[in-house]
Structure 1
Amino acid sequence: MKSSTDVIIIEDNELLRDSLKEAINKSSSIRCENTFNSGEAALDFIGKEELVPDIILLDIGLPGLSGIELIPELRKLSPTSKIIIITIHDEDENIFKAICAGAAGYLLKDLSSDKIIESISEVLNGGAPMNSHIAKKVLNMFRDQNVKSAGYDLSEREREILSFLVEGLSKKQIGEKIFLSHHTVDSHLRNIYAKLEVHSRSSAISKAIKEKLL
């Protein structure tokens, strides 16, 4: 069993890249040994070394391939890795594309290193971290859509829980918010995944956004 969480950073800003690595390596349970200044360098290294990081911290505005273009390529090479976007870009289109491509979280660079490390732990515990500003934008995307799909026969409770997933809440936070046990939330999530024909949180969120389920 792994004793620590492996993180890689793909960020072209050397100062930010180094400061994030330093902050992560001060943590007792999270380690960062590999950082890259471009997506191409990361893909080459991951492919050659058969690297399977637990977490990938990914910038959007990279030279060459953008972070959004990288997400599907990274998921092909390392499908179990969780990808967290860290960027200055808060445009709706970037958020939409990143989440639909499979990003597990979307953070703005004005967060402190401590908050970013907290977000890594949140992803590992089943959450989908976003700045409150970003979470509001995601919900507004749904409200701005005029046409809704049939909804896959989701119950009102399932739709409510799906909306909390989109907001980035963990299973524990969902249970506390609507006064349900961990096991009951798990049961609802299994039903949601089965109805949406997906197998992960990020896929459920992506489908909810793409198909306007909320």
Structure 2
Amino acid sequence: MAIRVAIYEDNRSLREALSTLVTETDELTLVGAYGDCLHANDNTYRHQPDVVLMDIDLPGRDGIQAVTGLHRNFPTVEVLMLTVFDDDDRVFRSLCAGASGYLLKQTTPDNITDAIKSVYAGGAPMTPSIARRVIQTFPSKSTQSADLDLLTGRESQVIHYLAQGMSYKLVAAELAISIETVRTHIKRIYEKLHVHSVTEALAKYRP
């Protein structure tokens, strides 16, 4: 049975190239290709993909926010990020939001199709440089748990929403506080977790 694949990519030529790649690959079948992820949940419900290829920088709604919704509503659907961004913040926000793999767009076509098959089979394919960064960033479990116990309830809420891929603005709206208050909580989270960035904080977070 072919693996059903959906693609979210706003660059038309790349979207068409990826669509052709999936269509012409044995064991894969294309069920949808979209220029934005505004209706990702509806598309997923309608076409039932097994694997979603998701860009991050999409018009109207970024891919990390879409991953959060897909992971919550369709937990059996595997999401594979395919993006130009290799910064720590987007990598960890994507993984914390529920993505099962992370590839850079420089990945070869053969490796992309292999990654789709791998993530469907339960793997977590990543561009090697991304995988090394992930491994090096995560602390030991004992240190992780001890530090997290220091957070207040509100600080835990803030990091929880950041782990779902929310921006500072969305976190502020969700908690009915100002963006400046969010930043204050984040500064305190940094101090308690002994980190210097959102990425490092998320690396210590265990929902």
Instruction: Give the shorter-chain TM-score range.
Output: 0.5 to 0.7
For residues 53-202 of structure 1, the aligned pairs below 5 Å read 53-142=49-138, 147-149=143-145
Give the deviation of 1:117 after TM superposition.
0.2
CA deviations 1:61-97 (Å, max 9, x no partner) are 1111111111111223422100000000011011111
Amino acid at match of 1:11: E
Q: Structure 1 stretches of 5 or more lacking a match?
A: 151-207
Q: Hey, which bits of structure 1, 4+ residues long, moved more than 6 A?
A: none
Give the deviation of 1:137 after TM superposition.
1.1
Q: Compute the TM-score of the two structures, normalised by the length of structure 1.
A: 0.64
Query: Match for residue 173 of structure 1?
Result: none
Q: Structure 2 stretches of 5 or more lacking a match?
A: 147-201
CA deviations 1:90-123 (Å, max 9, x no partner) are 1101111111111000000001111100001111
Amino acid at match of 1:60: I
Give the deviation of 1:21 after TM superposition.
0.9
Amino acid at match of 1:19: A
Q: Is the 8 A contact 1:52 1:78 kept in 2?
A: no
Give the deviation of 1:210 after TM superposition.
4.0
Give the deviation of 1:144 after TM superposition.
11
Distance 1:148 1:210 in 2: 5
Amino acid at match of 2:95: I
Aligned length: 151
Q: 1:23 to 1:140 in 2, by over 3 A?
A: same
Give the deviation of 1:147 after TM superposition.
4.1
CA deviations 1:116-169 (Å, max 9, x no partner) are 00001111222100011101111222269994326xxxxxxxxxxxxxxxxxxx
Computed over aligned residues only, the root mean square deviation of the Cα atoms, in angstroms, reads 2.4
